[in-house]
Amino acid sequence: MKDSYKNDRPLYNSRIIDTYIKLVKRKYSHVNIGELLDHADMKSYEVADQGHWFTQKQVNRFQEKLIKETGNSNIAQEAGRFTASPAAIGVMRQYILGLVGPAKAYEMIGRASPNFTRSSTYESKRIASNKIEINVTLKEGVVEEPFQCENRIGFFQAISIAFSNKFPKIEHPECLFKGGGSCRYIISWDKTLSALLKRIRGYTALTLPICMLITFILMPSMVVALFAPFLMAFVLIITLLTLIECRLENTELKDVLENLHDSTNQLVNQIDMNYNNASVTNEIGQVISKQTNIEDILDKVCQVSDNRLDYDRGLILLATKDKTRLEIRAGFGYSGDVLKLMNKTFFHLDKPDSKGVFVVSFKEQKPFLVNDINEIQDNLSLRSLAFAKRAGTQSFICCPIVCDGESIGVLAVDNLKTKRPLVQSDMSFLMGISSVVGISIRNAELFDGMAKQFSSLLQVMAASIDARDPLTAGHSENVTKYAMGICEELGLSKDQSEVVRVAASLHDYGKIGIPDALLKKPGRLTDQEYEIIKTHATKTKTILAQVNFEGMFIDVPEIAGSHHEKIDGSGYPNGLKGEEIPYGAQIIAVADFFEAITAQRHYRAPMPLDKAFALLYEEKGVHFEEKIVDAFTRYYVKTNPDKRLRLVS
């Protein structure tokens, strides 16, 4: 056999090899299928998957090993004929029988061949009603072997056998392997019984009237006596032949329709599966595209996977930041005991001798499909094997989660209850999902990084104001803490609270434009000085408006610049009343007021807590919204249980 494999493209559909395997199991049961596939670098799940394709090199090695194990040098042709066997139960047999007669099957072979081979083109030309010529031409760069010509002959024989259980006559006047430019086959076959009866009926219908005419000419005296019996016999014979022919034709059509029904059902099931896979991938993409938190992404992926995918269980493992370990971060379908086991389990990425399938999948960015874990137990680490056994895993698929060429984690699924075999299309489908998950996780990481940078910038901006005066250092931080406590007590959403947090951090940023002499003045301010101090609110809004806040943060300048407004309209800078004041500004107003009166200032000492709360309650409903004051009180009492407060209601 030639050893030059010019083409390692996937050329031959797995259904061809599947037919071989079924033949071997039926007739050569002594052959070890596992060793046969290993020699050809094929996997059982690849053979089972009708969407998988093998290379010329793989089929050559398969044939080489098969001849050696069976001792049958003609097994390629035998496998071709086996296509028509009921034991094959394959899509080839269903396709053949789905056509009305061998002539149509041979004629349609050119259209059907791309479903089974990408190595060549098939052209059919009908010569007679039961004779056809098929020309097979190899595509550029493809180098086949003689056994594939024999396999084609067997397949052509199978088509005729499927309809009549008889071998056709096959002439092979031109062959690629005997110097020809192509393989040319001339195939003829016996016609079906219904077709033969139809011809007999036609000849009979033509012959009997001629006989009667001859009788009339030669023996006119007998015409009257014989006309009635002759006519009755004529009608009876024609009717009988027609009935027999119709019965046979109906039987043949029934067989064709039954096989068409089976083929159609398989096609519909495949379409449904493809549609469902595309729909699920799209659904997962849409759901997780709205998430900016990794934990939320993983949770949504598991929810959709559990509801929509045909797998009993699933896991998502992510690498730690230092890429030393794979940790289980989310899953679905696992029992409580197994979940406890998973929470304590991780896989080392920093050990060169680690050979667990998750680790290898992560490092080599390679998916794995295992239908029997016992087949690979020698290749598993003791830790991985122990984990698999305790989890009850028998078959599984794991796919690397990759983004921008970098491994992020591993997605794994298995079937424990349904026992449905996992195939190559499952792995391809999960690789598609894992890529979507990888992109979303990377986006979440980028978003988280930007959020941290944003938060750091806010802290620096706030600290730059506080740093001007050591006495008031920490004011913005404390106001933000109080504001967040109020938001929590009021039950505001995460996004609403985050907007308040940003505005609270920067609420005094306008003081950057106020002279130190006024900010640090130890005595009471004059009316003119106080008016200058009050301009910090407007300055805050003006400066922050230049930051170009977007999205949910677009109102931050307005909120931060309105924290001195009062609900009775006596505040500044715009004298807003009640609901005219942004709700976030009303929250910051309470937090700012309480922090200011309980902290040391140049012009006074901190106010005692009881007195501070009394003063706050005096402003309740006048300067400050009542619910906000009550929320702050609840928060302060919860977080300061050691301080006894005498609160007024």
Q: What is the pLDDT of residue 460?
A: 83
* Spatial distance between the Cα atoms of 255 and 631, rounded to a whole number of angstroms: 79
Residue 626 has pLDDT above 60, yes or no: yes
Q: Residues 388-393: what's their mean pLDDT?
A: 75
In Å, what is the CA distance from 579 to each residue of 202, 541, 561, 567, 594? 98, 19, 16, 8, 21
Torsion 565-568-574-580 (CA) sign: positive
Q: Residues 160-183: what's their mean pLDDT?
A: 88
Q: Pick the residue with more confidence: 304 or 96? A: 304
State pLDDT tens for residues 464-486.
Answer: 777 776 667 788 889 999 999 99
pLDDT band at 309 (very low <50, low <70, confident <90, very high): confident
Q: What is the pLDDT of residue 251?
A: 66
Q: Pick the residue with more confidence: 17 or 391? A: 17
Q: What is the pLDDT of residue 234?
A: 60
Within 10 Å of residue 546's Cβ, how many Cβ atoms? 8
Q: Pick the residue with more confidence: 608 or 523? A: 608
Domain boundaries, the chain: 10-188, 193-274, 291-441, 467-639
Residue 395, amino acid: S
Residue that is written with structure tokens 């960015």 in the block: 365
CATH class of 467-639: mainly alpha
Percent of the chain clearing pLDDT 70 (strictly above): 80
Residue 542 has pLDDT above 90, yes or no: yes
Query: Using an 8 Å Cβ cutoff, are 122 and 139 in contact?
Result: no
Cis before 573 (ω within 30): yes
Query: Using an 8 Å Cβ cutoff, are 11 and 53 in contact?
Result: yes
Within 10 Å of residue 86's Cβ, how many Cβ atoms? 7
Q: Pick the residue with more confidence: 226 or 125? A: 125
Residue 235 has pLDDT above 80, yes or no: no
Q: What is the pLDDT of residue 253?
A: 55
State pLDDT tens for residues 525-538.
Answer: 888 988 998 999 99
Q: What is the pLDDT of residue 554?
A: 93
Instruction: Please tell me whether the overall predicted TM-score, pTM, comes out greater than 0.75 for this model.
Output: no
pLDDT band at 83 (very low <50, low <70, confident <90, very high): confident
Q: Which residues pair with 13 in a beta bridge?
A: 53
8-state DSSP, 568: B
Q: Pick the residue with more confidence: 235 or 175? A: 175
Q: What is the pLDDT of residue 258?
A: 54
Q: Pick the residue with more confidence: 279 or 435? A: 435
Helix ranges (H only) for 113-222 are 146-164, 193-218
Mean pLDDT of the chain: 82
Query: Using an 8 Å Cβ cutoff, are 516 and 471 in contact?
Result: no
Q: Residues 316-332: what's their mean pLDDT?
A: 90
Q: What is the pLDDT of residue 1?
A: 42
pLDDT band at 85 (very low <50, low <70, confident <90, very high): low
Minimum mean pLDDT among 87-91, 253-257, 414-418, 536-540: which range?
87-91
Residue 89 has pLDDT above 50, yes or no: no
Residue 135, helix vs strand vs coil: strand
Q: What is the pLDDT of residue 585?
A: 96
State pLDDT tens for residues 98-147.
Answer: 445 678 878 888 888 888 899 999 999 999 888 999 999 999 889 999 99
Q: Does the structural domain 10-188 have CATH classification 3.90.1520.10?
A: yes
Q: What is the pLDDT of residue 228?
A: 62
Residue 223 has pLDDT above 70, yes or no: no
The contacts of residue 589 (CB under 8 Å, 6+ apart) are: 563, 564, 565, 566, 571, 623, 624
Percent of the chain clearing pLDDT 90 (strictly above): 35
CATH number for the region 291-441 comes to: 3.30.450.40
